[in-house]
Amino acid sequence: MTEMVHGAVPIASGDPVLPRWWRTIDKWTMSSILILFGIGLLLGLAASPPLAARNNVEPFYYVARQASFGAVALLTMLLISMLSPRVVRRLAVVGFAVSFVAIMLLPIFGTDFGKGAVRWYSFGFASVQPSEFLKPGFVVVAAWLMAAGQEIGGPPGKTWSLALTMVIVGFLALQPDFGQSALVLFSWGVMYFVAGAPMTLLVCLAGVVIFAGTVFYENSEHFARRIDGFLNPEIDPTTQIGYATNAIREGGFFGVGVGEGQVKWSLPDAHTDFIIAVAAEEYGLICVLLILALYAVIVVRSLVRLMKERDPFIRLAGTGLACAFGVQAMINMGVAVRLLPAKGMTLPFVSYGGSSLIAGGIAVGMLLAFTRTRPQGEIGDFLGRAR
């Protein structure tokens, strides 16, 4: 039944892999990712020289590293996008298991690089943030559990996925990494909603999250400091948020000009968490709107294609990956304009960071694999025949 062709793109069984991949891939999403990465390199040319000067390395040392990491990320994305959903699921399970073990061992072997949160493994020449690699694997595993629970005689997949989510959120909160915890919870909530969750349960879970946030606010100095800074009506101009908001204000509509921005000399995280402030100052609102449009294209195009998908696992996993990708971008930019508390989250494919780039390549590669056109017919055709 699921292999019947009903209005789908015809694909000959003997087609070579590359031509078949090219005909079935979502070219709008892939092109948007490539443009975002190009913008990231352009902004890196502006934001990284001050960091290089502080660390006594070549002016474009970090741009070269970003290009290297990006090449690996894009190659990984393309290779994964050529795989079948079944193979992607198997790889995601393995990746999730490895990342989960790495998360559990962070309190013993991890480091905080003086930022107050133990999130990284340092290897001297590079560092790895395992939570970045955990997210795409978690989304696929949770979607698999939920889809299995919808089968006749299947396991209680929704309950198991909820238990797994709570365990992961617990380990992330211990780092503490509340931004990634919120992103994991959001991804699970979106998939649970698409899978047919009752609204009452989602409201109850939202109440639990609010209660947990109150507890952490009372007991975590790191968490309380960020919330207090966000709620304070006065912005300290010497803080990162102060520098970022001033840079965005100075940029105006067209920006102050290429290389003329000053925020990169004041912000220690100008090349990572606050890269959008560099874009707004030097290139203005036009550049920011372009970046927003590219993220919107990726998310909307993916969701539109997934609406036609009949396989519940593919539909759930693709939805979780697309929404997590878009919300991470929204959180990063929301922090820069002071709509959200500081989270320490990168802007996908734009911010500097090896872990973020490669993990983003894995996630988008999975998303491209799930949104490829397959000879299965659209879900509307299937429902029409069922009636």
277-304 per-position pLDDT tens digit:
899 999 999 999 999 999 999 999 999 9
How confident is the model at residue 135, as a pLDDT? 94
Tell whether the model's pLDDT for residue 249 goes beyond 90.
no
Confidence of residue 238 (pLDDT cuts 50, 70, 90): low
Confidence of residue 206 (pLDDT cuts 50, 70, 90): confident
Burial 15-39, CB ≥16 within 10 A → b, else e: eeeeebbeebbbeebbebbebbbeb
111 bridge partner residues: 120
Tell whether the model's pLDDT for residue 247 goes beyond 60.
yes
Mean pLDDT (whole number) for 10-32: 80
How confident is the model at residue 283, as a pLDDT? 92
Mean pLDDT (whole number) for 189-218: 80
What are the pLDDT digits (tens) for 151-201? 888 888 888 999 999 999 988 888 878 888 889 999 999 999 888 877 777
Q: What is the pTM of this model?
A: 0.87
How confident is the model at residue 370, as a pLDDT? 96
**What does residue 120 show for φ and ψ, rounded to 5 degrees?**
-125, 155
How confident is the model at residue 313, as a pLDDT? 95
Tell whether the model's pLDDT for residue 136 goes beyond 60.
yes
Confidence of residue 237 (pLDDT cuts 50, 70, 90): low
What does the mean pLDDT of the chain come to?
A: 84
Mean pLDDT (whole number) for 243-248: 84
Mean pLDDT (whole number) for 111-120: 76
How confident is the model at residue 112, as a pLDDT? 78
368 touches 26 (CB < 8 A) = yes
More confident residue, 78 or 218: 78
Lowest average pLDDT, out of 9-23, 26-40, 109-123, 281-295, goes to: 9-23
What are the pLDDT digits (tens) for 316-363? 999 999 999 999 999 999 888 888 877 778 899 999 888 899 999 999
Tell whether the model's pLDDT for residue 382 goes beyond 50.
no
How confident is the model at residue 1, as a pLDDT? 37
How confident is the model at residue 164, as a pLDDT? 94
How confident is the model at residue 235, as a pLDDT? 72
Using CA atoms, how far residue 321 sits from 114, 138, 141, 349, in Å, is: 31, 10, 12, 15
Confidence of residue 3 (pLDDT cuts 50, 70, 90): very low
More confident residue, 15 or 212: 212
